[in-house]
Chain A
Amino acid sequence: MSSALASARRPARAHVVRVGETVSLRLRRRPLVAGAALVALVLALLVVSVGTGDFPIGPAGVVKALVGQGDAGTVFVVRDLRLPRAVCALLIGVALAISGAVFQALTRNPLGSPDIIGFQQGASVGALFVITVLGASGVAVNGGALAGGAVCALAVYGLAFKRGGTSGYRLILVGIAIGFLMLSLVNYLLARARVEQAEEATRWLLGSLNGRGWSDVVPLAVVLAALLPALPAAARALRALELGDDSAHALGVRVERARLALVALAVALVAASTVAAGPVAFVALTAPQIARRLARAPSPPLLCSALTGTAIVLAADVAAQRLVPGTTLPVGVMTGAFGGLYLAWLLSTEWRRGRA
Chain B
Amino acid sequence: MPAAPVSATAAAPARPRAGRGRLAAGGGLALGLFALLLAALLSLAVGARAIPLHDVIDALLHGGGSEQATIVNSVRVPRTLLGIVVGAAIGVAGALMQALTRNPLADPGLLGVNAGASAAVVIALAAGAAGATSGSIWFAFVGAAAASVAVYAIGGSGRGGSTPVRLALAGTALTAALTAVIYGIALSDPRLLQQYNLWSVGSLGNRGREQLDAILPFVLAGALLALLLSRPLNALALGDDSARALGARVRWTRIGGALAITLLCGAATAAAGPMYFLGLTVPHVGRAVCGPDQRWVLAYSAVLGAALMLVADVIGRVVVRPGELQAGVMVAIIGAPVFIALVRRKRIAAL
A: interface residue count bin: 35 or more
Give the CA-CA distance A255 to B21 in the complex, in Å.
Answer: 39
Q: Check B336–A178 contact: CB distance below 8 A.
A: yes
Which B residues, 98 to 157, have Cβ-Cβ distances below 8 Å to chain A?
Answer: 105, 154-155, 157
Residues A108 and B9 in contact in the complex (CB < 8 Å), given A167-B4, A206-B183 = yes
Min C-beta distance of A110 to chain B, whole Å: 6
Min C-beta distance of B23 to chain A, whole Å: 29
Cβ of B221 within 8 Å of any chain A Cβ, yes or no, is: no
Cβ of B11 within 8 Å of any chain A Cβ, yes or no, is: yes
Stretch at the interface among A62-70, A77-85, A196-204, A210-218: A196-204
Instruction: Tell me which of B193, B325, B331 has the highest count of chain A C-beta atoms within 10 A of its own C-beta.
Output: B193
Residues A348 and B154 in contact in the complex (CB < 8 Å), given A176-B105, A184-B276 = yes
Give the CA-CA distance A196 to B191 in the complex, in Å.
Answer: 10
Q: Check A173–B169 contact: CB distance below 8 A.
A: no
Contacting A245 at CB < 8 Å: which of B7, B280, B329? B7
Which B residues, 55 to 73, have Cβ-Cβ distances below 8 Å to chain A?
Answer: none
Q: Check A111–B172 contact: CB distance below 8 A.
A: yes
Stretch at the interface among A40-48, A90-98, A231-239, A322-330: A322-330
Cβ of A341 within 8 Å of any chain B Cβ, yes or no, is: yes
Interface string of B168-197 (1 = CB under 8 A from A): 111011111111110110111011011001
Cβ of A55 within 8 Å of any chain B Cβ, yes or no, is: no
Stretch at the interface among A6-14, A278-286, A302-310: A278-286
Give the CA-CA distance A77 to B2 in the complex, in Å.
Answer: 62
B197 contact set on A, CB distance < 8 A? 187, 190-191, 198, 202
Cβ of A34 within 8 Å of any chain B Cβ, yes or no, is: no
Contacting B166 at CB < 8 Å: which of A172, A191, A351? A351
A110 contact set on B, CB distance < 8 A? 165, 169
Min C-beta distance of B163 to chain A, whole Å: 8
Cβ of A143 within 8 Å of any chain B Cβ, yes or no, is: no
Q: Check A347–B154 contact: CB distance below 8 A.
A: yes
Residues A202 and B183 in contact in the complex (CB < 8 Å), given A181-B332, A351-B159 = yes
Instruction: Give the dominant DSSP class at A's interface.
Output: helix
Contacting A286 at CB < 8 Å: which of B176, B179, B188? B176
Give the CA-CA distance A202 to B195 in the complex, in Å.
Answer: 13
Contacting B326 at CB < 8 Å: which of A160, A177, A191, A202? A191
A106 contact set on B, CB distance < 8 A? 8
Instruction: Tell me which of B7, B155, B186 has the highest count of chain A C-beta atoms within 10 A of its own C-beta.
Output: B7
Which B residues, 247 to 299, have Cβ-Cβ distances below 8 Å to chain A?
Answer: 276-277, 280-281, 284
Q: Check B331–A107 contact: CB distance below 8 A.
A: no
Cβ of A15 within 8 Å of any chain B Cβ, yes or no, is: no
Min C-beta distance of A116 to chain B, whole Å: 9
Interface string of B295-321 (1 = CB under 8 A from A): 000000000000000000000000000
Interface string of B9-25 (1 = CB under 8 A from A): 11100000000000000
Cβ of A25 within 8 Å of any chain B Cβ, yes or no, is: no
Residues A344 and B158 in contact in the complex (CB < 8 Å), given A184-B277, A256-B6, A327-B188 = no
Residues A180 and B173 in contact in the complex (CB < 8 Å), given A187-B200, A340-B180 = no
B155 contact set on A, CB distance < 8 A? 347, 351
Cβ of B1 within 8 Å of any chain A Cβ, yes or no, is: no
Min C-beta distance of B329 to chain A, whole Å: 4
Instruction: Tell me which of A167, A183, A327 has the highest count of chain B C-beta atoms within 10 A of its own C-beta.
Output: A167
Q: Check B190–A340 contact: CB distance below 8 A.
A: no
Residues A172 and B198 in contact in the complex (CB < 8 Å), given A159-B344, A177-B336, A259-B6 = no
**Given A165-B6, A177-B277, 12 more contacts at CB 8 Å?**
A107-B9, A173-B339, A177-B335, A184-B333, A187-B329, A245-B5, A259-B6, A281-B176, A329-B183, A337-B181, A344-B174, A352-B158
Q: Can you name 28 A-B pairs with beta carbons within 8 Å?
A: A108-B7, A109-B9, A110-B165, A160-B343, A169-B348, A170-B344, A176-B280, A177-B335, A177-B339, A181-B332, A190-B197, A195-B190, A195-B191, A198-B194, A281-B176, A324-B184, A327-B188, A330-B187, A333-B187, A335-B180, A336-B177, A337-B177, A337-B180, A340-B176, A341-B173, A341-B176, A344-B174, A347-B169
Interface residues of A (CB under 8 A from B): 106-112, 159-160, 162, 165-174, 176-178, 180-181, 183-185, 187-188, 190-191, 195-196, 198-199, 202-203, 206, 244-245, 255-256, 259, 281-282, 285-286, 289, 323-324, 327, 329-330, 332-337, 339-341, 343-344, 347-348, 350-354, 356
